[in-house]
Chains A and B, each alone.
Chain A
Amino acid sequence: MSSLVTLGLLPLLGALLVGVLPSENVLRIKQAALGTTFLTAIFGIYIATKFVANDTALQFIEKNEWIPSFAINFSVGVDGLALVLILMSVLLTPIVILAGWNESEGGRWSAKVFYILILVLETMMIGVFAATDVFLFYVIFEAMLIPVYFLIGGYGSGERAAAAVKFLLYSLFGGLLMLASIIGIYVVSSSAGHASFDITELAGLHTVMSSTTQNFLFLGFFIAFAIKAPLWPLHTWLPDAAQAGTPGTSVLLLGVLDKVGTFGMIRFCVTIFPDASKTFTPVIIVLSVISIIYGAFLAIRATDLKRLIAYTSISHFGFITMGIFAMTTQGHSGATLYMFNHGFSTAALFIVGGWMIARRGSSTIADFGGLQRVTPVMAWMFFIAGMSSLALPGLSSFVSEFLVLVGTYTRYPVAAVIATIGIVLAALYILIPVQRTLHGPTTPGNENLPDLNLREKIAIAPVVAVIVALGFYPSPLLNIINPASAHVIESAGFTDPAPTEIAGK
């Protein structure tokens, strides 16, 4: 059994373990969940160290027949892109559990159900990035909606049921469009003589597809992914879901699940339909730039802390999509690194923001004020998270945002220049709430908030460590990402434009 399969099964075993524990013993359940996810994270890091960065072929592969009459296989494997995202998922899950230790309280159902849902979700997160069979990917892509739906609807706050339904319907609609395209792929590949769902085999399929077919199939995939990693104008479900979910759920939703969309764009849209990707690139670049700017404006106007973070993410997903469809190696590397970094900076924002909200009992930004004096550690953590979100040089997001802009500039200078405005706006949407909540005199209602306790400090430390470390030294990740990005660009038939003096590394 490939170690990748073992990695995916670990959380599922944890879910079984939690399932047999008595529901009254909540502490034991939490320990079991944390222990399993921690082990998974360690094992994930171990796998990453065994990964051969310069080998562009899929690694840790495992392939078993699943439904032979439809040429469907249970096949998994990773390249640099998938590995980085799996690594991000397994690192974030234990942090989320530890940071939101009491999140399962106040839910509709018991803590046991909460942790089973989280653990099952982790298995699916690993699986969705590891799947190298389009059908398997789709199955997990759709199935993972169910645990998230119940996590938001069952444990969230406010209009949680409505938000959960909105999330589910949007995603299902996109998923069904993708199903139509997957059926299309199956039919096209079988009429070309060899029915297949294997992504390496499908990469050659575009040579036999008419451009009309290719465009339609591309759109089926792309719209599904553009809903997932919300791109303007398909983003409206995200703020509601992020606001209603628990902070931990929102971290997993924005940090990991939405990345399935941007991951899918590279893995399926660009790889299987390079010609259609080229055709639609102008439109997508425009949508990305609109997302960057529009998301930023929404964030500036936001009055709710959780919605603010969701809006910043819409802006960030605009950057990622732009980097992908710039079709340059730098753009792709930047986008992939951006996905990883965005996972951690969003996690930091949501986790610390969640603590602030839990302590103050309100998520309205105007209710906070002067936290720097009352809760210095928490305030500093929020400050760092904010700086990471606005891509301050020295923090991880800066590297990726820079790479994306450089990679885009070499091909679409106008888009890159307009997107740069997004950086200025980012300073506004981060600095204004930071100033309102942390600095200035302590406003009534905030005087007696407790600072972070030891558990919370332990939970946030690795997130901040990653943000700072990758800001100064991104090479370990870039070494994994670069060959994979170059391979995607090259096998899709694109060539990097000759670097100009501005785009030099």
Chain B
Amino acid sequence: MTFTAPVLDYALLAPILIVLAGALVGVLIEAFVRSSVRATAQLFVAVATIVIAFAQLMRVRNQASTTAAMSSLTFDGAGVLFMASILVIALISIFLIADQDNFTAAAAAVPGSLEEREAHQARVRTTEVFPLTLFAVAGMLLFPLASDLITLFVALEMLSLPLYLMAGLSRYRRLASQEAALKYFLLGAFSSAFFLFGAAFLYGYSSSVTFAGIQAAVTGGSGNDVFLLLGIAFVSVGLLFKVGAFPFHAWSPDVYQGAPTPVTAFMAAATKVAAFGAILRIFYVAFANAEWEWRPAVILIAIATMLFGSLVAIAQKDVKRMLAYSSIAHAGFLLAGVIALSKSGLDASIFYLFAYGVATVGGFAIVTLVRDSAGEVTDLNRWSGLGKRSPLVAGTFAFFLLAFAGIPMTSGFIGKFSIFSAAYQSGSVATLIAGVLSSAIAAFFYIRVIVLMFFKDPVEDGTSVVIPSALTSTTIAISAVVTLVLGIFPAPLINFIASTAVFLR
């Protein structure tokens, strides 16, 4: 028996490897650098890692449309765009994460214990979050490139495990945070099991785990269709769980609320890009020719997700939960791009993911600023009159909300327009109508928050807006500028996406 060593295209894999290396350096820093400069060193390493990875990605982007690592990964135009989006979102989220005030000093301590209090008094800082973030980023970069089910599963776990931990790091409301982490972990484990179950069926169907093999089996049509259907269904459950689509959304409001807000921002934005990247690849490549089997079901899920997210968001009294339900609605809008199953659907999805991701980080960044003596204030009633006290912060938040609502002159509008036209172009009028209706419903609760901030009088209960640190300000400024520019001059990015985004089949 001969053994062939796997051929690895290091140049193409470099962006992922760089991020992994950066994460390992971060671990070493935890061990060897003294605590007073640890946070600074970690931030420097994390930022440098992401920037270098991005630069390397841009350097090799023209070599796209090839497979790497023995066909386990497909390095194509769409993959490059997903990776680039994830890196940009990770970069602006890192600034937010670096604002250590949001993280507990002793994650392992029992909440409220003496040990925890001592750690707080000693001003211990949770710098582990930096390498954890980088590990998650590496998993996210891998996820949309994966072109066989095994790699997909490994990437899924690689991005999930650090996120489970990070969700439990909140400094305030420790119990809720730990509950969120546990919930996320347990439900995530369930969904992983579903995914594996489906993968087994697909292997049974096509005797292959690669997307190309499944695609060939579907085209050949020789396999057992029941296996194919079950396989698609279970694999989809695993993936739809990650994007929080209805009815697999149950974890997201609790986790969004319990996790430290910078982590929520990172998770909401970057995970969505990675997971939708993977969903788009598997549906566009592996299952493309079986569209009659899955498309009606995905249309139903998309419509249900949009309507459910928007309707339930109306009843929310907590800003983070409201944004969680809004992100469920947006997952529904993004599924419209999957349904489209066309080049324009792919382009629109990528634009939407990037635009939404950036605005989401910006939105959550503002949530971190509104505080009282016990930490962040997320109760919406206490946000009333914010526009009077800090017009700039409230105005920027209103702008992000308008972008989520898809009002013209924001990136959200262009995204919505392009994704709905792609869905309609592919013949799904129902998706278009449901999308428009749920946008109208969604507009209602976004505007309610704007009314609250600008047209209600402030409540005197110690809620205040902290002066953002330079890092948080950078995040907010970048997000706002990108959201505005993409709303007014989207052509360069749209053209870049249109000329780059392809799936190598």
Contacts and interface: CB of A to CB of B under 8 A. Distances in A.
Interface of A: 65-70, 108-109, 138-140, 142-143, 146, 150, 153-154, 160-161, 164-165, 168-169, 172-173, 176-177, 179-180, 182-184, 186-187, 190-191
Nearest to B391: A109
B436 A177 contact: yes
B87 to A, nearest CB: 24
Nearest to B418: A70
Given A143-B407, A169-B447, A153 B421 contact: no
A184 B405 CA distance: 20
Contact of B409 (A70, A139, A186): A139
B455 A179 contact: no
Interface string B336-358: 00000000000100000000000
Contacts of B405: 172
Contacts of B433: 180
Interface stretch (B13-21, B29-37, B276-284, B489-497): B489-497
A176 B436 contact: yes
B424 interface: yes
Given A108-B454, A176-B439, A180-B433, A186 B421 contact: yes
Given A69-B498, A183-B421, A142 B455 contact: no
Contacts of B432: 180, 183-184
A183 B424 contact: yes
The 7 A-B residue pairs whose C-beta atoms are closest, nearest first, are A161-B455, A139-B408, A180-B436, A183-B421, A142-B408, A176-B436, A172-B443
Given A146-B407, A177-B436, A180-B436, A165 B491 contact: no
Contacts of B451: 153, 161, 164-165
Nearest to A173: B440
B420 interface: yes
29 contacts: A67-B494, A68-B491, A69-B491, A69-B494, A70-B494, A108-B388, A108-B454, A142-B407, A142-B408, A142-B413, A143-B408, A153-B451, A153-B454, A161-B455, A165-B448, A168-B447, A172-B407, A173-B440, A176-B436, A176-B437, A179-B436, A180-B433, A180-B436, A182-B417, A183-B417, A183-B420, A183-B432, A184-B424, A184-B432
Contacts of B495: 68-69
Given A172-B407, A180-B432, 8 more contacts: A67-B491, A69-B494, A108-B388, A153-B451, A154-B454, A183-B421, A190-B425, A191-B425
Contacts of A177: 436
Interface of B: 347, 388, 391, 402, 405, 407-409, 413-414, 416-418, 420-421, 424-425, 432-433, 436-437, 439-440, 443-444, 447-448, 451, 454-456, 490-491, 494-495, 498
Nearest to A182: B417
A68 B495 CA distance: 8
Contacts of A142: 407-408, 413
Contacts of A183: 417, 420-421, 424, 432
Contacts of A176: 436-437, 439-440, 443
A65 B388 CA distance: 40
A108 B385 CA distance: 11
Contacts of A68: 491, 495
A135 to B, nearest CB: 8
A150 B394 CA distance: 14
B433 to A, nearest CB: 7
A179 B417 contact: yes
A191 B425 CA distance: 8
A193 to B, nearest CB: 14
B421 A165 contact: no
Given A68-B495, A176-B436, A138 B425 contact: no
B409 A187 contact: no
Nearest to A184: B424
A68 B491 CA distance: 7
B32 to A, nearest CB: 51
Contact of A161 (B347, B421, B440, B456): B456
A138 B408 CA distance: 8
Contacts of B436: 176-177, 179-180
A183 B436 CA distance: 11
Contact of A169 (B413, B418, B444): B444
Contacts of A153: 451, 454-455
B408 A169 contact: no
A153, A165, A183, A187, most chain B CB atoms within 10 A = A183
Contacts of A164: 451, 455
A160 B455 CA distance: 9
Contacts of B418: 70
B416, B424, B495, most chain A CB atoms within 10 A = B424
A185 to B, nearest CB: 10
B443 A169 contact: yes
Contacts of B494: 67, 69-70
Given A66-B491, A139-B408, A172 B440 contact: yes
A342 B248 CA distance: 55
A146 B403 CA distance: 13
Contacts of B448: 165
A341 to B, nearest CB: 31
A365 B405 CA distance: 40
A68 B448 CA distance: 35
A272 to B, nearest CB: 17
Contacts of A138: 408
A59 to B, nearest CB: 26
Contacts of A154: 454-455
Contacts of B391: 109
